[in-house]
Amino acid sequence: MENPQNPQRFLTAAAAGLAGCRACGTANPGGTRICACCGSPLQAAAPGSLQRVWAWLAAGMIAYVPANLYPMLRTTTFGRTSENTLIGGIAELFSHGSYGVALIVFLASIMIPVAKFLAIGYLAVSVRRPAALGSHGRLMLYEVVEFIGRWSMIDVFVVAILTALVQLDFAAAVAPGLAAVSFAMSVAFTMLAAQSFDPRLIWTADSENLDEHP
């Protein structure tokens, strides 16, 4: 579809002196602060906005550390208390033979968070540097990250449900561990990092690279 030898030139709203709205697509006159159609704040796609992405991403990664170190669940069965970390819970599911569920939890709480850190970091870095992945590839990466990020919350909900449900006095009781809080925070911060990333920057960097190497 794309022809790298002769890239098609597209006129963007920013290049035409207009302020495009990311919520409703209205092309407002340049310099407008609030979109006339939907009332969303308008922001130019400036690389400076990446600072917010980096800040949220760092917060998300920091919160992910205690999420792995502290126990997620504290189970008391007949007076004996056992603590389960994130990975411990997955291992237990696996040893019980629930491979499918173990896989879901592994994907949601280990694979997706780590992949998301890497993907958002890569997207933010590639705005400034020529990237190996083309614009379309990076846009797809961005869309996948936006879509999939919220599903990591599953594990927090599992802890909430187990805590509410398993309250059988002496026989069995489940209490949430500190990791549940830090994991929820990690997911929320990473979602905010993805939302702070302006996808228009993917293309801005691209057209600048074209100008540098005509």
Partner 1 sequence: MDSEQLIACPTCDVLHRDQDVPAHSVARCARCGTVLAAPKSGAMTRIAMLSLTALILLAAAAVFPFLELKAQGLSHQASVLDAVLAFSQGPMAPLSLATGLLIVLLPAARYGALVYTLAPMALGWHPAPRAAAAYRWAERLKPWAMAEIFIIGVAVALVKVSGLAKVGLGPAFWAFAALLVVTILTDNAICRLTVWKTLRTRSAS
The Cβ of residue 53 has, within 10 Å, a number of other Cβ atoms equal to 22
- The owner of tokens 């792995």 is 68
Nearer to partner 1, 169 or 211 (CB): 169
Q: Which of 154, 174, 172, 156 is nearest to 164 (CA)?
A: 174
The CA-CA-CA angle for residues 103, 105, 111, to 5°, reads 80
Nearer to partner 1, 120 or 156 (CB): 156
Nearer to partner 1, 97 or 214 (CB): 97
Q: Give Cα 5 distance to the centre of its chain.
A: 34
CB of 69 to partner 1, least distance (A): 16
Nearer to partner 1, 116 or 200 (CB): 200
Q: Give Cα 135 distance to the centre of its chain.
A: 19
93, two tokens = 């599911």
User: Can you tell me the distance from the alpha carbon of 31 to that of 19, in angstroms, rounded to the nearest whole number?
Assistant: 7
CB of 27 to partner 1, least distance (A): 4
Phi, psi (deg, nearest 5) at residue 67: -60, -30
Nearer to partner 1, 27 or 115 (CB): 27
User: Can you tell me the distance from the alpha carbon of 89 to that of 112, in angstroms, rounded to the nearest whole number?
Assistant: 17
User: Can you tell me the distance from the alpha carbon of 205 to that of 208, in angstroms, rounded to the nearest whole number?
Assistant: 5
CB of 165 to partner 1, least distance (A): 5
CB of 118 to partner 1, least distance (A): 20
Return the amino acid letter for 157: F
CB of 110 to partner 1, least distance (A): 14
Binding site for partner 1 (CB under 8 A): 8, 10-14, 16, 18, 20-29, 37-40, 45, 77, 89, 93, 96, 98, 101, 104-105, 135-136, 139, 146, 149-151, 153-169, 171-172, 176, 178, 180-181, 184, 188, 191, 195, 199-200, 202-203
CB of 126 to partner 1, least distance (A): 15
Nearer to partner 1, 61 or 105 (CB): 105
